[in-house]
A and B are shown apart, each in its own frame.
Chain A
Amino acid sequence: MKAFLTLSKTMTLGLLRDRAAVFFMLIFPLMFLVLFGALFKDTSAPQVKVVQVGDVAVFDDIPAEQREQLRDVMVVDKTDGSRAALNQALADVRKGDADGVIYAPETAGKSAGSGPTEQVELRVSGADSAKAGSVRSVVDSVLQQANQKATGQPPAYALATDRVEDESVKQIQFLTPGLLGWAVAMGAVFGTAYNLVAWRKKRILRRLWLAPVGAGSVVSARVGVNLGLALVQTAIFLGIAVLPYYGLKLSGDWWLCLPLVVTGTLAFMSIGLVVGALAKSEEAANGMAQLIVLPMAFLSGSFFPLDLAPAWVRTLSDFLPLKHLSDAMQGVLSRGESWGTALPVMGGLLLFAAVLTLIAGKLFRWEAV
């Protein structure tokens, strides 16, 4: 027990005093969470931007209360009614700076049209059909409401809508488990590989062999330090993600992410053991660790979802422990999933860890030859 505590302390000090390691394992992934979380915070509300050139009566007459509601889905910028302003607005739509232009026919020099019907001209870009569609439907609904109101009758039909409980994933719900999984993987693979290579090179492994210390103390100290690091990473990530600014809502059995992180750490440590057995220098260990973790993170959808990825990528990702860890964490953290999701993944991660640890055992060397 004493040897375990001594070695844990030694490893922790060695880790915390390695500024580069602290940066890459703790601060770097956290920067991703803080920045990505802020960048993609509002992407879920599709808001369109429309330029109104000159006076368009039906828009100018929208009551204040209704205008307030409209602002959630459409921003209207009103410019003066000159030809230059119109050309400018059309140019903005072409460049994608605005999603649509509305104007009265007179603004373009056309006649107002005959009869009581007042025309509203709308121009949208064909580049983004989804946005063009929502501009058209919002403008259309404004006109329909105005028409209906003009009849002086109550509406014959009314549409009652409400949202169903949202199954789709908010960015923060996706980013938190993905980036946390990446951070945990980096810490475990790098920490384990680096430690193994450094201690072999400096002959500390040999020195410990000659001290009355069991192999179990050495291994459990390393595992303990890595689990501690992973749980600290988890606490910091969740702590930031649940801030009102980022708005992650934890669901019932969110704490299941803790055993998931623990089993995931063991799986990634086993990768680190293999890397540490193969690498001849600390630099090589670092490079190999990055070469494994970064592609694994991309292929596991840590940074962006794999929904649009080709089928072979998704097939490949099924073999990566990080993908299953991130998916399961997403499930238990914010989608109300529980043991049913977490248990098979924990089992799989432990199995993965066992197989790779066996391989690492075969590759293990005491000496840097």
Chain B
Amino acid sequence: MTISADAFAISAENLRKRYGDVQAVDGVTLQVKRGEFYGILGPNGAGKTTTMEIIEGLREPDEGSAHILGESSWPRNHRLLPRIGVQLQASAFFERLTAREQIRTFGSLYGIGAKDADAMLDRFGLTEKAGVRDDQLSGGQAQRLSIACALVHDPEVVFLDEPTTGLDPQARRNLWDLLRDLNKEGRTVVLTTHYMDEAQQLCDRVAVMDHGKVLRVDAPDALISELGVDSLEDVFLSLTGREFRE
């Protein structure tokens, strides 16, 4: 453990990952400071999710290394796991369990008692829905539950993969408030998103990715003024081009 690595919540060096003919991640290096709200932006297929999964320790990079809180995330690191919270893209819920049972199950896997798990449910405004099964929840409720499950063990670093995709504007804004509060409590938050307004509102810094590479990293306002455009969306389009992506 070096001092410089520990100064960052996350540091990734020269990550590469290839799937068959596709170089999904092509030399990504990035650092996230402790307590920072960090966004990874990019069109579909840019390598955002793969980059995040390598950092989380879900995948082994072909090259490079990733550290969270000074600990290498690959191979699977039991000391690190309780300190990070991950919300996966698809809602990873146990089948036919109610919201309360879901969060209690996840809590129990981390050694968290039922009472604390229920408190987390309450914090995300799901107490009323505690007895409802996962497949009966609305999109916003399911998304909130999925984040609540990722946070039940009070992790220091939180990863969220497109947390607001598919939500209506009200549910999105509600979730933004929750995410801001998480960050204010001192947690480091990393999220991927397609929504530039979301990144502009929430993130201290963003990394714009395309073709497996990081194109630019800076605060949203700094990028806007650097490129002389009006919004983060314009930054995004001028960096990644306007052609349609699959």
Write the residues of chain A forming the contact surface with B, with a CB cutoff of 8 angstroms: 2-3, 6-7, 9-10, 13-14, 17-18, 198, 202-204, 206-213
CA of A7 to CA of B86, assembled, Å: 19
Assess the A209–B105 pair: CB atoms within 8 A.
Answer: no
Assess the B94–A210 pair: CB atoms within 8 A.
Answer: no
Known: A14-B97, A198-B95, A203-B90. A209 touches B58 (CB 8 A): yes
CA of A206 to CA of B52, assembled, Å: 13
Known: A3-B109, A207-B88, A210-B86. A14 touches B58 (CB 8 A): no
Assess the B106–A13 pair: CB atoms within 8 A.
Answer: no
Assess the A210–B81 pair: CB atoms within 8 A.
Answer: yes
B 48-91 contacts with A by CB, 8 A: 56-58, 76, 78, 81-82, 84, 86, 88-91
Q: A7-B109, A211-B81 are in contact. List 15 more A-B contacts (CB 8 A).
A: A3-B108, A6-B108, A9-B105, A10-B97, A14-B95, A18-B96, A202-B92, A203-B88, A206-B58, A206-B92, A209-B76, A210-B57, A210-B81, A211-B109, A212-B81
- Least Cβ distance of B151 to chain A in Å? 13
Chain B interface residue number, banded = 20 to 34
Assess the A202–B93 pair: CB atoms within 8 A.
Answer: yes
Assess the B92–A2 pair: CB atoms within 8 A.
Answer: no
Assess the B105–A207 pair: CB atoms within 8 A.
Answer: no
Q: Which residues of B contact A213 (CB under 8 A)?
A: 109
Q: Which residues of B contact A9 (CB under 8 A)?
A: 105
Write the residues of chain B forming the contact surface with A, with a CB cutoff of 8 angstroms: 56-58, 76, 78, 81-82, 84, 86, 88-97, 101, 105-106, 108-111
Q: Which residues of B contact A211 (CB under 8 A)?
A: 81, 106, 109-110
CA of A17 to CA of B82, assembled, Å: 30
- Least Cβ distance of A96 to chain B in Å? 52
- Least Cβ distance of B81 to chain A in Å? 4
- Least Cβ distance of B88 to chain A in Å? 5
Give the dominant DSSP class at A's interface. helix
Q: Which residues of A contact B111 (CB under 8 A)?
A: 2
Q: Which residues of A contact B78 (CB under 8 A)?
A: 212
Q: Which residues of B contact A207 (CB under 8 A)?
A: 86, 88, 92
Residue of A nearest to B107 (CB): A6
CA of A202 to CA of B82, assembled, Å: 21
Assess the B84–A204 pair: CB atoms within 8 A.
Answer: no
Q: Which residues of A contact B96 (CB under 8 A)?
A: 13-14, 17-18
Assess the B94–A204 pair: CB atoms within 8 A.
Answer: yes
- Least Cβ distance of A263 to chain B in Å? 28
Q: Which residues of A contact B110 (CB under 8 A)?
A: 211-212
Which of B78, B86, B88, B95 has most A Cβ within 10 Å?
B95
Q: Which residues of A contact B89 (CB under 8 A)?
A: 203
CA of A276 to CA of B93, assembled, Å: 18
Q: Which residues of B contact A203 (CB under 8 A)?
A: 88-90, 92
CA of A209 to CA of B109, assembled, Å: 11
Residue of A nearest to B104 (CB): A6
Q: Which residues of A contact B58 (CB under 8 A)?
A: 206, 209-210
